[in-house]
Amino acid sequence: MLKVRGLEVGYGAGRRIVNGVDLHVDAGEIVVVIGQNGAGKSTLLKGIFNMAPFRSGEVTLDDAPVFARSPPALLLAGLAYVPQNRSLFPKLTVAENLRLGGFLLRDRGKVERRLDELHTLFPILAERRRDYAASLSGGEQRMLEIARTLIMAPKVIMLDEPSIGLAPRMVDLVFATARKLAERGAAVLMVEQNVKKALQKSDRGYVLELGRIQIEDRAAALIDDERVGSLYMGVSS
């Protein structure tokens, strides 16, 4: 579904962050990219979503090139991105934030139908739909950000550090939500610092070091990998 070949991403002359990355994400699976701070994980997602000034290589969605498309065009094509930093409108209600997720859709009936579906998938947001986004907990705000992207019914959803700053219970809820999305047929690509939890909830994983993929394997195999354990999970050999 989403294929990346030889991707290089940077921020100007001499600031190449991602160097020749190959990866893919198929429908119905969760793929996680792990690595230390500064490895280029967030830059990788920004490069895929056309949010970095320099890119080269190839990115395709359902075999169609995406490099020439703007972020709004990518949303319409079925590629969604939830950034690490909060992107909600705090002084708008939950319902208003959700509706803004469908700003590219001209069929308002479709927006309303998808809102009904989201209220079923995220009952807490249905309960709090009249509350301001600023009043939500950190985990609820993350749920709202994810739900807002689903108004566009994306085929691929990219999550940048979805569990950052959340209480353990909300971390479990975020990963459970990612699994629900995969079960509904979406392809989920996320980068995460919570390595063990992310691998436990994912199907496959990539280890990114200094902008390059160093290891690719099934998530279960990466959990048992001594190098991954010592570097990212604090496990002594």
Q: Is residue 137 part of a domain?
A: no
Q: Is residue 41 part of a domain?
A: yes
Q: Is residue 139 part of a domain?
A: no
pLDDT at 14: 66
Task: Judge contact between 143 and 172, C-beta under 8 A.
Answer: no
- The pTM assigned to this predicted structure is 0.91
> What Cα–Cα distance (Å) separates residue 8 from each residue in 17, 18, 46, 55, 212?
7, 5, 11, 5, 9
Sign of the alpha-carbon torsion through 149, 72, 5, 211 = negative
Q: Is residue 71 part of a domain?
A: yes
Could you give the CA distance from residue 51 to residue 91 in angstroms, rounded to a whole number? 26
> What Cα–Cα distance (Å) separates residue 175 from each residue in 33, 138, 199, 204?
14, 14, 10, 14
pLDDT at 231: 78
For the chain, the domain total comes to 1
> What Cα–Cα distance (Å) separates residue 68 from each residue in 48, 51, 78, 192?
11, 12, 15, 28
pLDDT averages per 10-residue partition of the chain, 237 residues: 95 84 97 93 95 92 91 92 90 94 84 88 91 93 91 94 88 90 95 92 95 95 89 64
Q: Is residue 220 part of a domain?
A: yes
Q: Is residue 122 part of a domain?
A: no
Could you give the CA distance from residue 66 to residue 207 in angstroms, rounded to a whole number? 24
Q: Is residue 18 part of a domain?
A: yes
Amino acid identity of residue 54, one-letter, is F
pLDDT at 235: 57
- Which domain range does residue 46 map to? 2-87+154-232
pLDDT at 73: 92
The CATH code of the domain that includes 184 is 3.40.50.300
pLDDT at 13: 63
